[in-house]
Structure formats: structure tokens, C-alpha cells
């Protein structure tokens, strides 16, 4: 029986991890491979060395370890299942937060980077030379992205090297900037400076709008955390010591209450995710656009 419950815990951890990643589980091989590819790209954007399988196994391991610890503290394996299942999403939440911060820092660095490129273009320099200078003297978030740019451009060529950077970032804002740089490199002309200047203004306005949207959703995010976490913390607190609460949740009625609460909690998490989800700017350039068109 306990082995069956442990297996159910692992499956639940897998489903919760998929919920945090925004990837619905599928048992079709083609869909599964495509999903693993998206998770792999997601992990690469975080900078994690883990493979998708290792990531899911690590999340399940965290959930299982939390289950064992909470079961010891609460004196009840069933009541501790749902808090432990929620803790299995900790790694996905941490990685997701790190990814958002990294992509945000890169997006906010692009206006300064374009101004840096503009100064080189207006002084008569070419786009390849301007980008080479960006790799050494540009904003710090982009220096790591363009690390080793000289060797990469020499081995692959300017256009393939820049396309590699675009797929590494996998971000709609970076797609726009890099596509403009590719066109500017191909066609050149006097309009390059004008186009780059207009692009700087557009990205700056987009970032201002994104910050306003995030500020508006701060209260909702706090409320969702309170709704999702506090009830289980209260349950752990009430059952951590001997007393009537601990005795009640060890009975069949108490387990039924926890089961009903866990089901409603899972439904609530899904609804909250749908309500607070922000529609990201779609990638219309790069490999993601080509996959969507096929």
C-alpha cells in the first residue's frame, strides 16, 4: 500500500512540475519528445546542467524527501502528502524565477546595447565590428550571452553565429533586435541608424508597459501565495504536536477532509495559474516560429 502511495506521490510530483512549467502531460511519443525539447530549452535559459529527466527526478526526490519529513513531524503519512506534493514544485518555481529574472535583465539591457551599436554605426563602423565591441564593452547581462563571440563568428560566420545567439536567448524581444541586425548587415545603407534608433524607442516603451502590468498583478500574486501555502502551513502547525487536531487528522474523517481540501487546492492552483497567466509576446522569428508553421 505504501509503495502504491509512493508511486502516486511521484506521479503527482511530475504533474505539479508540468503545471509549474506550463506543459500539459501527454503519452504520445511525438508530443513527449517535443515537450522534452521545450523543457530542455527552458533549462538552458536558466543555465541548469540538468536534463529534463534529471530535473523531473530531482523534483520527485524533493517531494518524496519532504513527504518523509512531514510524515515524521505530523505523525500521519496521508495528511502530509499534499504539502509534500506542493514542495516538489520548489525546483521548478526556483528555476522559473531565475529564468524570468535573467530574461528580464537581458531585455532591459537591449536599449543600452542598441545605443552602443548606434555609436559605432554612426562613427562609420560595420555591424560585425559593432557587435564584437558589444561582446566586450556592452551591458553586463549581454556580455555573458556574447561570450566567445569572436571565435564563434570566425568559425561559423557572422549570420549563423548571430542566429545561434538568437536561439540561445529564445526571447521575442531578442528576436526582433537580432533580426534587425541581420537585415542591417545584409543591406546596410543610411537607414540603419534610423531603424536602430526607432527600435530602441519601441523596446523601451514595451518594457515600460511590461513593468506596469507586473506592478498591477503584485497583489494578485501575493493573494495566490497566501491561498496556496498558508492552509498547509497551518495544518502542519496544528498536527506537529500531540493534541486533538493531530488525533482528528489520523482518523478516517480527518483523512477525508484532507483529501477534499487537496483536490480543491489542486483545482484552485490551476484556476489561479490561468487567471494570472500573462500572454507573452509570441516568437514570430527563429526556430520556434518555424516549428509553429509546420
Which residue's entry shows cell 478516517? Answer: 252
* Alpha-carbon dihedral 123, 129, 130, 133, rounded to 10 degrees: -110
Q: What does the pLDDT average to over 249-266?
A: 86
Q: How far apart are CA 196 and CA 67, in angstroms?
A: 54
pLDDT of residue 35: 62
34-43, 205-214, 218-227, range with greatest mean pLDDT: 205-214
Higher pLDDT: 100 or 35? It is: 100
Q: How far apart are CA 84 and CA 66, in angstroms?
A: 5
**In the predicted model, is pLDDT for residue 99 greater than 80?**
yes
Burial code (b: 16+ CB inside 10 Å, e: under 16) for 84-110 equals bbbbbbbbbeebbeebeebbbebbbbb
Q: How far apart are CA 290 and CA 105, in angstroms?
A: 26
Q: How far apart are CA 95 and CA 290, in angstroms?
A: 27
**In the predicted model, is pLDDT for residue 77 greater than 50?**
yes
Q: What does the pLDDT average to over 147-170?
A: 85
Q: How confident is the model at residue 186 (pLDDT cuts 50, 70, 90)?
A: confident
Q: What does the pLDDT average to over 3-25?
A: 52
Q: Which of 239, 247, 259 is nearest to 82 (CA)?
A: 259
The conformation of residue 281, written as its DSSP 8-state character, comes to P
Q: How many residues does the chain have?
A: 294
Q: Give residue 8's Cα distance to chain centre.
A: 26
CA separation (Å) from 66 to 34, 155, 186, 195? 30, 48, 56, 54
Q: How confident is the model at residue 181 (pLDDT cuts 50, 70, 90)?
A: confident
pTM across the whole model: 0.64
Amino acid at each position: 500500500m505504501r509503495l502504491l502511495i509512493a508511486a502516486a506521490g511521484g506521479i503527482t510530483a511530475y504533474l505539479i512540475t508540468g503545471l509549474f512549467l506550463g506543459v500539459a502531460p501527454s503519452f504520445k511519443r511525438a508530443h513527449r519528445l517535443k515537450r522534452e525539447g521545450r523543457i530542455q530549452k527552458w533549462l538552458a535559459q536558466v543555465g541548469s546542467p540538468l536534463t529534463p529527466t534529471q530535473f523531473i527526478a530531482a523534483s520527485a526526490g524533493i517531494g518524496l524527501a519532504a513527504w518523509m519529513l512531514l510524515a515524521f513531524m505530523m505523525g500521519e503519512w496521508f495528511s502530509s502528502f499534499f504539502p509534500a506534493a506542493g514542495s516538489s514544485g520548489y525546483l521548478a518555481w526556483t528555476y522559473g524565477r531565475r529564468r524570468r529574472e535573467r530574461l528580464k535583465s537581458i531585455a532591459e539591457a537591449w536599449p543600452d546595447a542598441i545605443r552602443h551599436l548606434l555609436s559605432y554605426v554612426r562613427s562609420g563602423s560595420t555591424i560585425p565590428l559593432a557587435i564584437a565591441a558589444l561582446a566586450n564593452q556592452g551591458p553586463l547581462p549581454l556580455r555573458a550571452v556574447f561570450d566567445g563571440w569572436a571565435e564563434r563568428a570566425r568559425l561559423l560566420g557572422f549570420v549563423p553565429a548571430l542566429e545561434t545567439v538568437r536561439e540561445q536567448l529564445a526571447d521575442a524581444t531578442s528576436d526582433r533586435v537580432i533580426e534587425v541586425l541581420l537585415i542591417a548587415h545584409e543591406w546596410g545603407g543610411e537607414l540603419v541608424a534610423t531603424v536602430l534608433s526607432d527600435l530602441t524607442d519601441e523596446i523601451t516603451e514595451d518594457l515600460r508597459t511590461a513593468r506596469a502590468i507586473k506592478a498591477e498583478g503584485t497583489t494578485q500574486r501575493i493573494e495566490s501565495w497566501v491561498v496556496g501555502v498558508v492552509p498547509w502551513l497551518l495544518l502542519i502547525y496544528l498536527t506537529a504536536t500531540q493534541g486533538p487536531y493531530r488525533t482528528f487528522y489520523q482518523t478516517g474523517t480527518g483523512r477525508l477532509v484532507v483529501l477534499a481540501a487537496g483536490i480543491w487546492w489542486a483545482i484552485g492552483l490551476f484556476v489561479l495559474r490561468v487567471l494570472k497567466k500573462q500572454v507573452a509576446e509570441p516568437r514570430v522569428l527563429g526556430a520556434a516560429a518555424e516549428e509553429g508553421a509546420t
